[in-house]
Structure 1
Amino acid sequence: MSPTSDRQALVIGASRGLGLVLADELARRGWRVIATARREDGGLRALAEVHDGRLTVESLEMTDPGQLAALRERLAGRRLDLLFVNAAIDRGDVPIHEVPTGVFAEVMITNALSPLRVLDTLHDLVPPGGTVAVMSSEQGSVSLNTEDGYELYKASKAALNQLVRSYATRQAHDGRTKLLLDPGHNRTALGGPDAPWEPRDTVPALVDVIEAQAGVPGLRFLDRHGDSVPW
């Protein structure tokens, strides 16, 4: 990994919630951070001003391959110590047989397909010894799926985990650290107001895990304590 003052990260999906706090936490620790948002975002821009050059903002609709290709061109020549994909949607607690086909496709494209497009498009900016990471969830664990509810969201995260595992198999000898991370149940627009944790409680621990795992090649599915999450 690069010296502390020279570490560079790209956080995909940083306009709010976990992604916003993640970008802030990395910048606080001395990383140089590129953070993306789908549209002009006052909160992220304000954060960039606070960090005075250590955090820059790029526009990206992750589900648009054209925008993703344009971002890759803009980042040509950069070297990233960390590529972190944080983006997901949820369309409510609806039994799977009642989910409209269009909604099913929207959630799967956003939560599973698009993160893998990001990895395959941008991972060559991450040299051997760097880290590619994706925000997953315990909800994507097949073996832990023992309670009713949120069937589509669970399925999308399970699909994400499987696709990242396939990606890791294809890239088994690239020397990069690969992480699927479970942040726990956070009070965000996605997690809802009754969740037990605030992102400020959990994200610093996630960054501790990222930094501790740096330079260890292979794929791991870990929670914010660094413990393995069952597949």
Structure 2
Amino acid sequence: MSLPTPTPTMRAVVTGASSGIGAALADGLARRGYSLILVARREDRLRELADRLSARHGVQADVRTVDLADRAERATLCDELAARDIGVLCNNAGFATYGDLATANPERERRQVELNSVAVHDLTLAVLPTMLARGAGAILITGSTAGNQPGPNNATYAASKAFANTLAESLHSELSGTGVQCTLLAPGPVRTEYAEVAEVPNLDRMVPGPLWVDADRVAAEAIVGMAAGRRRVVPGVFAKVQTVGGQYTPRALVGPILRTVYRKVT
């Protein structure tokens, strides 16, 4: 398999494009000749990225300032994407919260589910029919190693990423033979603004420095994985260990361990 050949009308969509993995994915796709639709809430960052990619790679980069956790804003974007020639969709936007679910802000937890799960589902449904009619297309869903295991004190994030992980891998098999592919990107710790958005400043201390992976590396591996039609991309040794541990360690054992770990960051 390979990614669809870029054309003047085709676009690659990247959500969460204002920083981190999203910005790196946008750069990697622009380097391959894709014009882009960059989606995030921070317009200033999106426009700066769009200008840089256009100048560096000679592609068109359109900006869509959208709060994907807002159903009305998301619906407008979905309607646009359903009517456009979308060759690649990178469902990358997301955030996490930490702490006891019983004392969490219900609205922030709801927004997390909307962004990490429902928006991924909606955007995928918006672009999939056109991709199938064309017989070519690629969808990347950024899940997480956290979605492979229970996450006490990180419950909403773990649950929402479990949805993303399962959706991606299910769709990968469902699309076999259609010319359209879906790849799961399941990273572990990545150097981004993740901790800042999660409002947990000491999160970086949970994992030793050498075990963190750079966002550019994650994006590069993700794009290579999409181009190869891979089911799952897990960048970094630590993430691979997390994946195996999450899948095969008994829940009765891993739950209490992770509860102790996550309590240290809240």
Shift of 1:223: 1.4
Question: In the alignment, does 2:47 pair up with 1:68?
Answer: no
TM-score w.r.t. length of structure 1: 0.78
Whole-Å separation in 2 of the counterparts to 1:28 and 1:172? 27
Q: Which secondary structure does the structure 2 equivalent of 1:51 belong to? A: helix
Residue in 1 that maps onto 2:91: 85
Name 2:251's counterpart in structure 1: none
1:1-231 equivalences in 2 (<5 Å)? 1-3=3-5, 8-40=11-43, 42-52=44-54, 53-75=59-81, 77-92=83-98, 94-126=99-131, 127-142=134-149, 145=150, 150-164=154-168, 175-191=179-195, 193=204, 196-213=212-229, 220-224=231-235
For structure 1, the 5+ residue unaligned runs are none
Distance 2:109 2:75 in 1: 25
Contact 1:85 1:134 in 2 (8 A): yes
Partner-residue secondary structure (3-state), 2:191: coil
User: Aligned partner of 1:204: which letter?
Assistant: A
Cα pair 2:78 2:122 within 8 Å, conserved: no
Q: Matched residues in 2 for 1:109 and 1:76: separation?
A: 20
Letter in 2 for 1:189: E
Please provide the CA RMSD for this pair: 3.1
Which ranges in structure 2 are unaligned for 5 or more consecutive residues? Answer: 196-202, 248-266
| Cα shift at 1:80 | 2.1
SS in 1 for 2:109: helix
- Higher share of residues assigned helix: 2
Following TM superposition, by how much is the alpha carbon of 1:152 offset from its aligned partner in structure 2, in angstroms?
2.8
- Percent identical pairs in the alignment equals 25
Question: C-alpha distance in 2, partners of 1:99/1:31?
Answer: 41
Q: Distance in 2 between matches of 1:75 and 1:148?
A: 36
Query: For the pair shown, which has the larger CA radius of gyration, 1 or 2?
Result: 2
Q: How many residues align?
A: 220
Q: 1:105 to 1:37 in 2, by over 3 A?
A: closer
**Which whole-Å deviations, capped at 9, do the CAs of 1:41-77 have from their partners, x for residues lacking one?**
x232122222324322122221233323322444465
User: Structure 1, residues 119-166: CA drift from partner, whole Å, max 9, x if none?
Assistant: 112323423231112101111113xx5x86533321221133334456
Distance 1:171 1:209 in 2: 16
Q: CA deviation at 1:177?
A: 0.6
Partners of 1:190 and 1:157 lie apart in 2 by 15
